[in-house]
Amino acid sequence: MDEAPVLICYDGSAESRQAIAGAAALLSGRRAVVVNVAPLDAVAEAYAAAGSGAAGLGADVHADTVARADEGAELARQAGFSAEARGVLATPLWRGVVQAADQVDAAVIVVGSRAHSRFRELVEEHVSHDVVEHANRPVLVIRAG
């Protein structure tokens, strides 16, 4: 078995669960790192809403991110991977994915893709597209449907 892990992006969506299943069909038995990336603006918004009582909010957002990654890692283990979880806070989201892949020296990044209309493509962040554009390693995009 190759030592470099597979980095699987997981956000709890049906597309990310489908990405785990698609990756398992091709790469099962390998070591995997399942990453959930939350936007840093979530921390900033939490601080703004809480005012002076915000000391633990950044830790809470990070804990939620790790919990979501743990959920994905469990699904990856059920699919045949030896998986660990990693929660990351980053803006933009693709940067967190690419940095996590660099940190673990991933053999490949696996990411799900949502089917979007052309209008939605213009106004929404597309993590899968941006990861493909910025990663210095192979990216496996598992398309929705």
When pLDDT is averaged across residues 57-78 and rounded to a whole number, the result is 90
What is the reported pTM? 0.85
Residue 23 Cα to chain centre, angstroms: 14
Spatial CA neighbour of 111 closest among 97, 100, 90, 122: 97
Parent domain of 111: 6-143
When pLDDT is averaged across residues 54-69 and rounded to a whole number, the result is 81
Longest dimension (CA), the chain: 51
When pLDDT is averaged across residues 82-110 and rounded to a whole number, the result is 96
pLDDT band at residue 114, thresholds of 50, 70 and 90?
confident
Give the residues across from 113 on adjacent strands: 143
> How many independent structural domains does the chain possess?
1
In a domain, 10, yes or no: yes
User: What pLDDT score was predicted for residue 62?
Assistant: 82
**pLDDT digits 0-9 by tens, 20-56:** 999 999 998 899 999 999 987 766 666 666 665 555 6
In a domain, 73, yes or no: yes
Instruction: Please name the residues in contact with 36: beta carbons below 8 A apart, sequence gap of 6 or more.
Output: 9, 10, 11, 12, 65, 66, 68, 69, 72, 85, 86, 87, 88
Is 22:142 a contact under the CB 8 Å cutoff? yes
In a domain, 1, yes or no: no
In a domain, 103, yes or no: yes
Give me the CATH number covering residue 12.
Answer: 3.40.50.620
